[in-house]
Amino acid sequence: MTKLQHELLMACSSLSLEIILDYKLELPLSKAVLSVAFIPNLGDVNGILIFTKYDPTITKELIENGYAYSVLEELSLESVYDLDSYIEMFKDWGYKPKKYG
């Protein structure tokens, strides 16, 4: 598990959001893609896929099939976990906190 995956897992767990790490999606027209993580209840109708590298060849097909996606950099070992930062990012993806600030 990478540091990014670990922090995404911690944030989702803290907020009671489902997350699947190393999620493989079979696209109808392209190829199978492996995401760092998949959060089904955020993003678009079918959820959001998180990658660490941008692949322009799958962008259109992801969107047409109801998936949002985000490209995040892998975290350094020195980075410090900050739940509030994840909440803000998740809000950009449609998260509505039950109790916040």
> For the chain, which residues make up each domain, given as ranges?
3-92
pTM, two decimals, is 0.92
pLDDT digits (tens, 9 = 90+) for 69-84: 999 999 998 999 999 9
Judge whether 50 and 38 are in contact, CB under 8 Å: yes
CA distance 14 to 90: 12
Per-residue pLDDT averaged across 20-29, rounded? 93
Torsion over CA of 6, 28, 95 and 35, rounded to 10 degrees? 10
Positive or negative torsion for Cα 30, 36, 39, 42: negative
What is the phi/psi pair of residue 64, to 5°? -65, -25
Structure tokens at 30: 């392209």
Residues 6+ apart with CB under 8 A from 60: none
Provide the mean pLDDT of the chain. Answer: 94
Give the confidence band of 31 by pLDDT, cuts at 50, 70, 90.
confident
Segment 13-38 mean pLDDT: 94
